[in-house]
Homo-oligomer: A and B are copies of this chain.
Amino acid sequence: MRKRSRYFAREELKKSGYKVTPARTAIIDLLSNSKKHLSAEDIFLKIHNISPNIGLTTVYRTLEVLVETGMVCKLDFGDRRARYEFSQGIEKEKHHHHLVCTNCNRIIDYTDFIEDEIELLKKTEKGLSKKYKFEIKNHIIQFYGLCNECRKKII
């Protein structure tokens, strides 16, 4: 599994004209085996244990590259730091969106209603690209509110 995604990533990098480097491999390995929504610093620290020679700057630069190739999604949950997760294309089974607790910052991945969502998106996309001649590449849907625990706590 790890070998598989590593191979895929290597090809993906080459396809986009990027070199395959230890930092890039390490970050891809980490993200492809992690479910969490990690910040650049999270990633830096985890990798630092294994490869103390990879700097934070390189982590930022690598993430930029991985987002550019589409392998990684950059997420923004409103605390002022980007978060990253291995990308699941739309239409794929793992495509999901997020519930964000505004109290404790918990993030819930949900995959429910994705079919309905995709239907709406297609319709919207078609309408909007015609009306505004806008070419949609990407979308965000996010719900903000209170998670179960915080709802109880706050009352």
Q: Which of A92-133 contact B (CB under 8 A)?
A: 99, 101-102, 108, 110, 112-113, 116-117, 120, 123-125, 127-128, 131-133
Asked if B151 and A128 make an inter-chain contact with CB atoms under 8 angstroms apart, the answer reads no
Nearest chain B residue, comparing its CB with the CB of A133: B148
Tell me, in angstroms, the Cα distance from A78 to B113 when the chains sit together: 26
Asked if B128 and A137 make an inter-chain contact with CB atoms under 8 angstroms apart, the answer reads no
Copies per complex? 2
Which A residues contact B (CB, under 8 angstroms)? Answer: 76, 78, 99, 101-102, 108, 110, 112-113, 116-117, 120, 123-125, 127-128, 131-148, 151
Across-interface contacts of A135 in B (CB, < 8 A): 145-146, 151
* Contact sample, A vs B, 17 pairs, CB 8 Å cutoff: A76-B78, A112-B131, A113-B120, A113-B124, A117-B120, A120-B120, A125-B143, A132-B147, A132-B148, A134-B143, A134-B148, A135-B145, A137-B144, A138-B143, A138-B145, A139-B141, A139-B143
Tell me, in angstroms, the Cα distance from A117 to B145 when the chains sit together: 18
Tell me, in angstroms, the Cα distance from A120 to B116 when the chains sit together: 7
Nearest chain B residue, comparing its CB with the CB of A99: B134
Tell me, in angstroms, the Cα distance from A82 to B94 when the chains sit together: 30
Nearest chain B residue, comparing its CB with the CB of A108: B132
Asked if A144 and B148 make an inter-chain contact with CB atoms under 8 angstroms apart, the answer reads no
Across-interface contacts of A132 in B (CB, < 8 A): 99, 108, 110, 147-148
Nearest chain B residue, comparing its CB with the CB of A149: B133
Asked if B136 and A112 make an inter-chain contact with CB atoms under 8 angstroms apart, the answer reads no
A113-B123, A136-B144 given; 17 more Cβ-contact pairs under 8 Å? A76-B78, A101-B134, A110-B132, A112-B124, A116-B120, A116-B124, A117-B124, A128-B143, A133-B151, A134-B148, A135-B146, A136-B143, A137-B144, A137-B146, A138-B145, A139-B143, A140-B141
